[in-house]
Amino acid sequence: MGEFSQIQRLIRILQILSSGRKVTTTELLQRFKGDVSLRTLQRDLLALSEAGIPLISEKTMGNENAWSLMSQFRSFIPLPLETNEYLAAHILKANLKVFQKTPFEDEIHSLINKIDQIVPEEVFLETESGKAQNLFENYAAGSFDYAPYGKTINSLISAILHQNICKVTYHNPYMGIKKTYPIEPERLVYYSGGLYVIAYLRKYEKFRLLAIQRIRKLVLSDEKFIKDQHFDPKLFWQNKFGLFSGDQVDVKLQFSKEVRHHIEGRTWHHSQSVSADKKGQVTLKMKVGVSPELISWILGWNKHVQVMSPRALMDAVVDAHTSALNIYK
């Protein structure tokens, strides 16, 4: 790295001491790889102490000073970024495409820009020329455009953080009607190109899933809600295959060997068990609700899947295939 300026040395010393270890002056000298003299480091440590930095000095068995930093002060020291940590930030950015064209996108770019300001020189040189930005891409067909819903998203984030009650006007596409009611937002969920909010509806004493794009109007109130209902993610998702819930039943599906590589190695549901027979056929067992999403997913495998149980699911899949066939007659 060449010669260090005093400010570079002081920051580096604080970063080393922020690990919580006791470090001798000789060890500090080794960390600078001989680019700094022992006398210079001793003067730097003295300068830090005189500046009010709470350094602790103790004598070692070899009569050498061992330096450490008071624990209360460590959290204020900026730690250096490693290459993979910097790349992880860009991967997270790519995974947040759902917020494109919304005000939250500006916040994401602002965060990455701030991270760029503290990237060490060696990491910057290793990841220059767009390598970090081009490392990872999140591709999904059918993603929803949330540009018109930026204000709604920001209001929901604020409500979740500060426990504000929201009044929403929500459109139900299945019934073709709009209803207005209060919600207590719990968390945002991204699923298959869409953004949803899990909210507690006190009138029904249940947590519900609302699609952001179906919220026609949202008013963020000053009224706080009491968080007296514990949200259990495992309980909320256990009967769902996707977003729709239903009464939990034992589902058994058999897939042909041609699609075995698509089934094995993936998590389809937390209750699943996957096994293969000598012919290469794969059996997938789950405890889920029979929902439109489950039926649609099964139909997507075409001739490569057979519903073994339950009977109600078999009938639903047969009806769906028959209805689709009738369209072309």
CATH of the domain at 311: 3.30.70
- Among 63, 94, 126, which residue terminates a domain? 126
Q: Which residue intervals of 204-259 are DSSP H helices?
A: 233-237
Q: How far is CA 61 from CA 18, 66, 186, 316, in A?
A: 23, 10, 56, 79
What token pair was written down for 223? Answer: 């009224």
Let me know whether 45 and 119 are in one domain: no
In a domain, 211, yes or no: yes
Q: Which CATH number is 65's domain given?
A: 1.10.10.10
Let me know whether 61 and 17 are in one domain: yes
Let me know whether 203 and 221 are in one domain: yes
Quickly tell me which residue has 């968080």 as its tokens.
227
Let me know whether 10 and 70 are in one domain: yes
pTM of the complete model: 0.69
Q: Which domain holds residue 113?
A: 83-126
- Among 231, 263, 294, which residue terminates a domain? 231
Q: Under 8 Å CB-to-CB from 314, ≥6 apart: which residues?
A: 307
In a domain, 62, yes or no: yes
In a domain, 242, yes or no: no
Let me know whether 171 and 118 are in one domain: no
Let me know whether 110 and 155 are in one domain: no
In a domain, 21, yes or no: yes
Q: Which CATH number is 159's domain given?
A: 2.30.30
Quickly tell me which residue has 């947590």 as its tokens.
207
In a domain, 87, yes or no: yes
In a domain, 47, yes or no: yes
Cβ atoms of residues 138 and 95 within 8 Å: yes
From the first residue on, what is the mean pLDDT of each consecutive set of 10 residues in the chain (329 residues)?
72 79 83 82 87 84 83 61 74 78 81 68 56 73 89 94 97 92 96 93 95 97 93 91 89 97 95 96 96 95 97 97 93
Percentages (nearest 5) of helix, strand, coil residues in the chain: 40, 25, 35
Number of domains the chain contains: 4
> In the β-sheet with 305-309, what is the strand arrangement from edge to edge?
273-276, 282-289, 248-255, 305-309
What's the pLDDT at 276? 96
Let me know whether 206 and 154 are in one domain: yes
- Among 172, 197, 231, which residue terminates a domain? 231
What's the pLDDT at 80? 62
Q: Report how far residue 56's alpha carbon sits from residue 35's, in angstroms, rounded to the nearest whole number.
A: 25
In a domain, 135, yes or no: no
What's the pLDDT at 76? 54
In a domain, 256, yes or no: yes
